């Protein structure tokens, strides 16, 4: 997260509390949606790890910066596309869609390979440093794969599609529409206004997904196979929503 270790640790604590609440709510209301319910907890770990990045930068402790940055980038580069793909695959009940999502999950795991290549970095170049009151991660913000401006936007677009498409094609896609839209809008805004620290800023803004996930769990049906339908009330012939 931007600005300071305190901000990162504070947001991490709030995300952890949100995650615990989401898991508890999922257990009571819709146990099948647990793969999405745990997402805020992972966001919490990521933000806390950036708190340690800040501590390392301000304390001139390069070893701490290296370790904490690798944890942070594990989530930022490798984990999230696979996480959302796995969640969509796990909750899917339609056999054909589940097969497609299984293939997509395998595809999304390619980002772990990219993460492994990215953190190797260049000799003598710090993995993270402070830039404009934010954290600049050299391997992701400087785009080690495609050096051109167009290449940078293309790689970010591919990352976004890898992470969001599963939630948009699964049977219960309406539940995850707002979180996917939030991720897309924040990605575009972070790239446009905070290109120098895109990874840090977008991940911080994407943590807003936790609130959207809580809403999705609240609206989720008790069973994955249930669909919302309109029935006609016997009193006055008014339509009512039933599950």
User: Does 232 score more than 90 pLDDT?
Assistant: no
List, for residues 5-30, the tens digit of each pLDDT value.
888 899 899 999 999 999 999 999 99
pTM value?
A: 0.86
Task: Give residue 22's pLDDT.
Answer: 94
Cα distance between residue 4 and residue 23, in whole Å:
29
Task: Give residue 3's pLDDT.
Answer: 65
List C-alpha distances in Å: 83 to 74, 125, 154: 12, 30, 21
Residue 74 vs residue 131, higher pLDDT: 74
Q: Which whole number is the average pLDDT over 48-74?
A: 94
Residue 146 vs residue 43, higher pLDDT: 43
Domain residue limits at 194: 5-242
Task: Give residue 240's pLDDT.
Answer: 40
Task: Give residue 223's pLDDT.
Answer: 82
Minimum mean pLDDT range among 47-51, 54-58, 209-213: 209-213
List, for residues 173-193, the tens digit of each pLDDT value.
999 998 888 888 888 888 888
User: How many separate domains does the chain show?
Assistant: 1
Q: What's the token pair of residue 82?
A: 């696979």
Residue 58 vs residue 151, higher pLDDT: 58
Residue 40 vs residue 202, higher pLDDT: 40
List, for residues 88-125, the tens digit of each pLDDT value.
999 999 999 999 999 999 999 999 998 988 888 666 56
Residue partners of 191: CB distance under 8 A and separation at least 6:
153, 156, 198, 202
The whole-chain average pLDDT of the chain stands at: 85
List C-alpha distances in Å: 16 to 20, 42, 46, 118, 230: 6, 8, 11, 28, 37
Do 41 and 87 touch, CB atoms closer than 8 A? no
């Amino acid at each position: 997260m931007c600005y300071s270790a305190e901000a990162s640790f504070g947001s991490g604590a709030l995300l952890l509390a949100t995650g615990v609440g989401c898991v508890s709510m999922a257990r009571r209301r819709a146990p099948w949606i647990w793969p999405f319910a745990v997402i805020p907890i992972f966001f919490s770990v990521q933000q806390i790890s950036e708190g340690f990045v800040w501590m390392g930068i301000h304390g001139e402790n390069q070893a701490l910066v290296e370790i904490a940055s690798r944890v942070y980038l594990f989530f930022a580069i490798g984990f999230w596309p696979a996480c959302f793909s796995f969640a969509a695959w796990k909750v899917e009940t339609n056999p054909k869609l589940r097969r497609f999502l299984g293939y997509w999950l395998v595809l999304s795991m390619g980002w772990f390979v990219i993460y492994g290549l990215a953190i190797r970095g260049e000799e003598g170049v710090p993995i993270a440093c402070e830039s404009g009151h934010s954290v600049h991660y050299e391997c992701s913000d400087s785009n080690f794969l495609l050096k051109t401006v167009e290449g940078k936007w293309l790689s970010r677009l591919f990352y976004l599609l890898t992470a969001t498409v599963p939630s948009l094609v699964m049977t219960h896609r309406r539940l995850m529409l707002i979180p996917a839209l939030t991720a897309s809008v924040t990605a575009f805004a972070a790239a446009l206004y905070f290109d120098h620290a895109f990874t840090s800023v977008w991940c911080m803004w994407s943590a807003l997904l936790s609130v959207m996930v809580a809403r999705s769990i609240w609206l989720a049906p008790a069973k994955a196979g249930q669909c919302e339908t309109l029935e006609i009330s016997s009193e006055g012939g008014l339509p009512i929503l039933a599950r």
